[in-house]
Structure 1
């Protein structure tokens, strides 16, 4: 703000904590664009790679398929204050309850909070497998924590017993997909999201109206949906061992 830049782009862990300073930025005439912060108030636009609840439901469909649509599972989020993680998790849970009655989320009232710590996530996963011997699935939203869950499953030799689905970085999880410790990997390209944020900032700064159906000229954002101050793309990816080389970022 002190440097009076034209645009600030931000991906907040806790949108609420940033509201006061973002208010000051906008009062200073700076365009503010956020990402992974649906529901944030003091921005010009929030850019989302996809509808969060739809992404969660999509990953739940994938998890249900590998679980045979039955059994106990847990949901883990990086932080209970992370708006995007909570949106995916709640979308997944709602979809499971409506679509897969023979599946049971054993922590529906209190999602595991893994706090963006891979080592702690590995230890938590090992603890969960010990506490719940009939556990059949894990749904993990944090890209930082997903490898920890996969490593715990791999070290326990439970690739054939526990199904793991989550959001993560392809290169960080390639070995786990190969070993089958990880069954379902969803993601979006953060570089493309960054370009989309910058493009929106440029449009706002130049006084160009952003409308439903607009093409931002970036893969996954060619036909955006506009809801209030939220711009929603269709940019999620499903990563498998057969995915093209460009997807292994």
Structure 2
């Protein structure tokens, strides 16, 4: 009798530890086998703490954790220092997390530590870092970055009437996507609008710091009093360009660039930013985590699969790069449609 009770108790304990993967994890995949150990730990390492863009990304990562019953959360350095970000990844490797998601400040400097993570058997998914695709599991892009840059360049040219002096920002010269947008924009404008002149040797850097961007915009206006246009490949710089133009009541200098509705909305509606572009950071964080979970569960990432967020319903798989189609264009007519 005692032996029977022991057997029954063991079975009760065993069944009580079983957890089942959500049926919605991948639309077309069969139900995943039960997990009997622990919750997966999936961590997003964002570029910088205290930035509206990555505050929204955290929303998506944490929502994913709730939806799929995994331990998903986000961390980030207090500055845009690539070394600090790499050290955070080192700490996660030492901790032995199941998956690391990362939006690198400098993909090149992140390469050694991500190789180490892979050697330790940790799933690694990057976002905004195509150059790292060969060494990680997958890189997620919200769209083709060259297309995004051309759209920005076209908006600036139309706002400026196709001629005049302009300059602008990236978060940092090491940020791969920012430079992809800039280079595609430059190539397009040189070809299609030869009367437009890029006046600085290279784009300015703001390191995703609004105070730094605000001060630099003021300096640029003094340096180039005949400036006709500005772009921002960082949400911080575009927003600060709009703020400075509003403070000076200057609608002669046309502004376009990357920003969020919550950051640039008032400047767009008041006519101090002509157009902003973005994608939903929360969705990118959510989809990155879903890719990692699929890998952890042994499920394949396939061309055309549905990754459960708008713009990612039918992704394009190019080797180890996953492309969505999730750009958002913010104008006076569209900006109020969004609440992030």
Tell me the TM-score range normalised by the shorter chain: over 0.9
Give the drift of 1:217. Answer: 2.3
Give the drift of 1:230. Answer: 0.9
Give the drift of 1:172. Answer: 1.2
- 1:138-170 CA distances to partner (integer Å, 9 max, x unpaired)? 1111112222211222222211x1000010121
Give the drift of 1:221. Answer: 0.9
So what's the TM-score if we normalise by structure 2?
A: 0.69
Structure with more contact order per residue of length (Cα contacts < 8 Å, sep ≥ 6): 1
Counterpart of 1:64 in structure 2 is 157
Tell me the secondary structure at the aligned position of residue 309 of structure 2: coil
- 1:190-232 CA distances to partner (integer Å, 9 max, x unpaired)? 1110111011112222222223222222211122122231111
Give the drift of 1:182. Answer: 1.0
So what's the TM-score if we normalise by structure 1?
A: 0.93
Moved over 6 A (4+): none
Of the two, which has the highest radius of gyration? 2
Counterpart of 2:294 in structure 1 is 203
Counterpart of 1:30 in structure 2 is 122
30-39 or 94-103: bigger deviation: 94-103
Taking the TM superposition and a 5 Å limit, the aligned residue runs for 1:96-115 are: 96-107=189-200, 109-115=201-207
| Match status 1:92 vs 2:185 | yes
| Match status 1:51 vs 2:144 | yes
| In 2, Cα distance between equivalents of 1:20 and 1:246 | 42
| In 1, Cα distance between equivalents of 2:169 and 2:95 | 39
145-154 or 25-34: bigger deviation: 145-154
Structure 1 segments unaligned to the other structure (5+ residues): none
Give the drift of 1:246. Answer: 5.4
| Match status 1:217 vs 2:217 | no
Counterpart of 2:32 in structure 1 is none
Structure 2 segments unaligned to the other structure (5+ residues): 1-92
Tell me the secondary structure at the aligned position of residue 326 of structure 2: coil
Counterpart of 2:176 in structure 1 is 83
Tell me the secondary structure at the aligned position of residue 304 of structure 2: coil
Taking the TM superposition and a 5 Å limit, the aligned residue runs for 1:11-30 are: 11-30=103-122
Q: How many residues align?
A: 247
| Match status 1:149 vs 2:241 | yes
| In 2, Cα distance between equivalents of 1:199 and 1:97 | 40
209, 216, 223: which one aligns with 1:124: 216
Counterpart of 1:42 in structure 2 is 135
